[in-house]
Amino acid sequence: MGILHPQECYFLEKFISAEHYGETRDAIIAYIDAHEEALARYKREMPLNARKLPQWQQADVVWETRVMPNLRPLKDRYIRTYILRTHGDIKAFDIGHAMSNISKGIVEFWNGWMTEYEINKISALESVAKKLDRRLSMTLRGSWDDGDLTYTGCGSLYSNIELPAKIPCYKLDPSVRIEIGQNPEQTGFYLPDIKFAPARFIPEDFGQPVPASQGIRRSNWSDPDTGEKDYSWEETEWTETGWTLIRRVEGEFINVPPDGFFPKGLPEELYGWSDK
């Protein structure tokens, strides 16, 4: 069976909380608004010879007709989805990957019409929005690998400073199971029956049996200077498994160690967890 670790459960809860939805919404809106401001500035200061430039350099035409129409609807979508999330509506979970999709499309268009300040501002806002949206998306899709939110992810996928002094305790509820071949009937966080696979979020409308991302082969890379080994998974596969519901233990908390739960970044720090 997978390892029930409070840090992984805490981050899974945090990354699809109403608060995280709100932060993601605000970050994406700020990113879009920065483009609106830059485009409005360009229109005010548009060079007199703009129509003599190649069309791909005519920002008021290209960005107004091909770029911004793909960005603007996201504002309303994330505003509506945040409202759904605060009302406990399961339709709130049908979202994510907005920033990755934007990035794939927007790089095709020339941004040389922007000032250096605008480019830097948009880049900084994009970084924040991408991070928040990726966390939301990965959690909703159950795409985290074993170790991502525990022993391999510190410093890249999460930071210890994001952990409060105490985090909730969690336990398994064996009365709520998803067996192999069964569709889920209850929304929640679940632990898989197989090893080398993390806990994941599963909505009740998943509509089919739920596989787990299982580690198959680790990376064999080591830092040539420090000798530090990379314990991330080089190969994973989606594996059939049963699942057991995870519940938060009301009123019970565990102290977060000063150096975090995974100071060495070793798999054994998870697999040897005392409360497993």
Which residues in the chain come in under a pLDDT of 50? 276
Q: What is the pLDDT of residue 276?
A: 45
- The H or E element that residue 269 is part of is helix 268-271
| Residue 224, domain member (yes or no) | yes
Domain limits at 70? 15-141
Q: What is the pLDDT of residue 51?
A: 86
CB 82 within 8 A of CB 25: yes
223 with 132, same domain: the answer is no
Total number of domains constituting the chain? 2
| Residue 10, domain member (yes or no) | no
| Residue 8, domain member (yes or no) | no
Q: What is the pLDDT of residue 120?
A: 98
pLDDT digits (tens, 9 = 90+) for 62-112: 989 989 998 999 999 999 999 999 999 999 999 988 888 887 778 788 999
| Residue 56, domain member (yes or no) | yes
102 with 183, same domain: the answer is no
185 with 125, same domain: the answer is no
CB 129 within 8 A of CB 99: yes
Cα 265 from Cα 154, distance rounded (Å)? 8
| Residue 152, domain member (yes or no) | yes
Q: What is the pLDDT of residue 275?
A: 60
Q: Is the dihedral of CA 168, 154, 162, 99 positive or negative?
A: negative
20 with 71, same domain: the answer is yes
20 with 51, same domain: the answer is yes
